[in-house]
A = this chain, B = another copy of it.
Amino acid sequence: VTSDASRHLPNAIDLRALRLEIEEFNTDYAEALDSGDLEKWTAYFTDDALYTIIARDNADAGLPASLVYCEGKGMLKDRAFAILNTTMFAPRYIQHFVANVRVIGVDQDGIIAARANYLLLETLADGHTRIQQSGRYRDKFVRRGADLLLAERACVYDTLTVHNSLVYPV
C-alpha cells in the first residue's frame, strides 16, 4: 500500500472485498481472451481506456515505447478485428493464469489502483505447451454501476522473446 494513497485507502475488509472482486474480473477477462471472444474482451474497458503491452525495462525506466498501444475503445476494437481477420496468429490455444492480485489504493476520484501477475501459456500446432509470456498487470479500475471497468491496463512483461507482427492481447 503506497503512502500517498493512504488518505483514501479503504479499511482492511473493504480492501479484501475489492481484491476478491478484481480476481473475479480478471478470471472473466482471461476467459474472454482464452476462448477467442475478442469482442467481449473490449467490453472490459472504459470508452477512453488506455491499454498497453510494454517491456519491463521500458516501464521501469518510464520510456513510452511499447509493443502495443491502444488509446480508447476504438483502437481496442480495431485490434480485435485485425486479429480475428488474420492468419498471422500462430498458437493453437492460449491460457491465462492470473495470481497475486493486489489492491494498491483508491484515490479521491474512486479510481482503484491494482496489480496482478499473469502467466500466458500457448499450445502450438505440434501440441506442445510452453510459456509465451509472464508479466504483471498495472491497472486502474473505475466502477460503473455494479461493474468494474478498466480505465487503464499496462501489461508489463518480463519475457523479451515476444515478437509477433500482430500481438494477441494479454
Neighbouring B residues of A20 by C-beta, 8 Å? 16, 20
- Chain A contributes a number of interface residues (CB within 8 A of B) equal to 39
Chain A, residues 16-29, CB within 8 Å of chain B (1/0): the string is 10011000101110
- The smallest C-beta distance from A101 to any residue of chain B, in angstroms, reads 7
- The smallest C-beta distance from A119 to any residue of chain B, in angstroms, reads 6
Q: Report if A102-B161 is in contact (Cβ < 8 Å); known contacts: A56-B93, A97-B119.
A: no
Stretch touching chain B among A39-47, A66-74, A105-113, A126-134: A126-134
Question: Which residue on B lies nearest to A136, using beta carbons?
Answer: B95
Judged by a CB distance under 8 angstroms, whether A99 is at the interface is yes
State whether B96 touches A100 (Cβ < 8 A).
Answer: yes
